[in-house]
Amino acid sequence: MILQIAIPTPLNRHFDYLPPPGIDTNLLRPGMRVWVPFGNSRHCVGMLLAVAEQTEVPKDKLKTILKVLDPVQPVLPEDMFKLLQWASHYYHYPIGEVISTALPRLLSQGEPAILQSPDKDGGEYHSEWVITPEGQLIDPKTLPKRQERFALLLALLQQHPAGLSESEIVIELPNPRPTLRALQKKGWINAQIQQSALTLPLSLNPAQKQAFDYVSSQLQQFSPCLLDGVTGSGKTEVYLQIIQKVLEQGRQALVLVPEINLTPQMVSRFKQRFTVPIAVFHSKLNHQERLQTWLLARDGLAPIVIGTRSAVWTPLQRPGVFIVDEEHDPSYKQQDHFRYSARDIAVVRAQRAQVPILLGSATPSLDSLQNVHLHRYQHLILPERAGAAVHPSFHLVDLRQLTSRQGSLSPQLKKAIVQRLENKQQVLLFINRRGYAPVLLCYQCGWLAYCEHCDARLTYHEATHELLCHHCGATRPLTTDPSTIECPNCHHPKMYLIGQGTERVEETLEKEFPTAKILRIDSDSTRSKYAMHTMLEQIHAGEADILVGTQMLAKGHHFPKVTLVGVINFDSGLYGIDFRSSERMAQLLVQVAGRAGRAEDPGEVIIQTHYPDHPLLTRLIRQGYTAFAEAALKERQQTEFPPYTRLALLRAEAEDVEKATEFLLMAKTQAQQCCDTEVKLWGPVPAPMEKRAGWYRAHLLLQATQREALHRLLDKWLPMLPASTPKLRWSLDVDPQELL
């Protein structure tokens, strides 16, 4: 008998081996891991795909498997094994690499798939770490500096008296177990199993109840539903009550969220409602924690699984419902290596398991809206905010009427900020550009500070006194003020900083409102381990008056005291080079606007723009996201872009400026020889940013009306392409979300 094994290599094929001596091949099943020799001196973990009777490899060339790592049962359940095979075929990515992506790292390294006893190290997954009365009396600020981890953990648990699981604590405090044990010995914290729910289900308004009733009636069949609810409309409460129904049937729920920063608040809501173990998946888990969480879900011991993109590969013993929150978010698409869409994988999983899936969003993707129009998805609409909250009002400010001396804040925005500060309310200012200024310019000769490795300008960061490339990370330290730097081209003695970033807006706010407490939230200010959590606590405690930040503030956060949102400059989204730019612009604008007026106080949104008459912007403001989406879909149909066509993007990168294009020209010629007129080939063309991190990039776009035609071509064509080399590499992106 011949064993067909998937090996984690870039080669899109399986490898044939002989079974180890003395093993009954009738006991071998797909999904079992094996230890195999590979290459001249390497050994690695592979996975059994099938048992065959024949091979094209000469018998004397076949190697023998060294060991079967899962002799009793496959580590992968059959449904997940078949899903991974489907994903490998759909995304045209090597099956060994797909399996390696989906498995916890320790399983890919050959570690046993053993669930630790809940009474030992695995107990944290079933229990809550809670602060004791003695621990509540300790002021973390009084602890010595050498006990910084003690102080951080104490403060965290004091802020969450109901308790946190280790999988939640690790988001804020990596490798928390030694600290947990130390504080437990001191009697400051304790681990206990939660015995009762903390909150009761809220009463549903008519729209929420209609959505709940529909999904509840579909629990025994595949039913894809788009839960289209405005910000603050109570989508999470609908999720919770549907999951309660699923749990009553003894089944499991998988909930996906787009970003790790949103995981704690989602988990907190779920833990206040349910007493069952909740498995939490995110990138801050160490390898052992990830394995244990994965096994809890696979073995049915965690009825609820919550996680980010990679959690979509978590096996469930008894799936009952899949939920994708903020389904429009581009972070659900993996942008390198195995380029899969977690949202789309979740839909396929639900279809195969014959259970419903909810795709929730206040700004649904055009893909999902088109599926509604084609009657593939049920459209469940939550048109109003829950409780007494009302929709915010919108106002456009024409930046063309401002002088350069007025800076980044218009008089209208300044006046609105003053009113909110007087009323002890919070203000959120959004600018989707970090750093101080995006351009360092010489007025004398026009010289700009560019990155040596990318086709991109360097951004000046005042906090670190350096020029930074936001694409490759290259830095150029500055020892003096940028305005006193001599131009390297014409030697003019003065340079100028042009444009606004979060740091510059923060500086302006400090001058304009010297008594206000200002908090800047971007990827620079939240780089330390605990910064984001600390800032969110400050916001909710009322210790910040003005929040200024990037899209990190726009997604999913609940700021009940924010009544004014100011959008500093949103024009880049109006004229983006990607065909999805306007869609992303609209979604981000609606999401950030949704932070205003989520409690009883009405909200206001002020948008500063140089294009107040832009048709997409005015339609969005005056008629809402639904009207915008309808117009955008018509535009997509006319230009033959998704969701009306299917795309695949072949990317090539080379160290030489011409080699990437030469490779794609050769690939295009081969594709033309084996494809029919159903697939159009566009390019090759240089990437919008041709040079990035020292590599020159080019694209070849494939476009087809029918998905089947596109994949027929890919099946024939890709095996003809040569493998990547150290000087030239290529990759395929099926259903690309970005053409950058």
What is the per-residue DSSP string for 5-28?
EE-SSSSSS-EEEEPPTT--GGG-
According to DSSP H, which parts of 103-190 are helical? Answer: 105-108, 133-136, 148-159, 166-172, 177-186
Fold of 206-382: Rossmann fold (3.40.50)
Domain boundaries, the chain: 2-108, 121-192, 206-382, 393-435+500-638, 438-496, 646-734
Query: Which of 307, 244, 261 shows the shortest CA–CA distance to 280?
Result: 307
- Fold match between domain 206-382 and domain 393-435+500-638: yes
Helix or strand or coil: residue 228? Answer: strand
Residue 166: the pLDDT is: 76
Which residues in the chain land under pLDDT 70? 117-127, 167, 192-199, 388-389, 403-406, 529-530, 598-599, 676
- 3-class DSSP state of 401: helix
Predicted pLDDT of residue 214? 97
**Total H helices, total E strands in the chain:** 21, 30
8 Å CB contact between 643 and 370: yes
646-734 — its CATH code?
Answer: 3.30.70.600
Separation of alpha carbons 701 and 194, rounded Å? 54
Instruction: Please classify residue 205 by burial: count the beta carbons closer than 10 Å to its beta carbon, then call 0-12 exposed, 13-18 middle and 19+ buried.
Output: middle
DSSP 8-state class, residue 78: H
Give the whole-angstrom CA distance, residue 320 versus residue 250.
9
Note the pLDDT of residue 432.
87
Distance CA 307, CA 255 (A): 7
Domain 2-108: which topology? GIY-YIG endonuclease (3.40.1440)
Consecutive H or E run containing 92: none
- Nearest C-alpha neighbor of 591 from the set 396, 427, 363: 363
For the domain bounded by 393-435+500-638, which CATH number is listed? Answer: 3.40.50.300
CA dist 115 and 10 (Å) reads 31
Q: How far apart are alpha carbons 313 and 684 in whole angstroms? A: 34
Give me the pLDDT at residue 120, please. 38
Partners of 647 in the β-ladder: 703
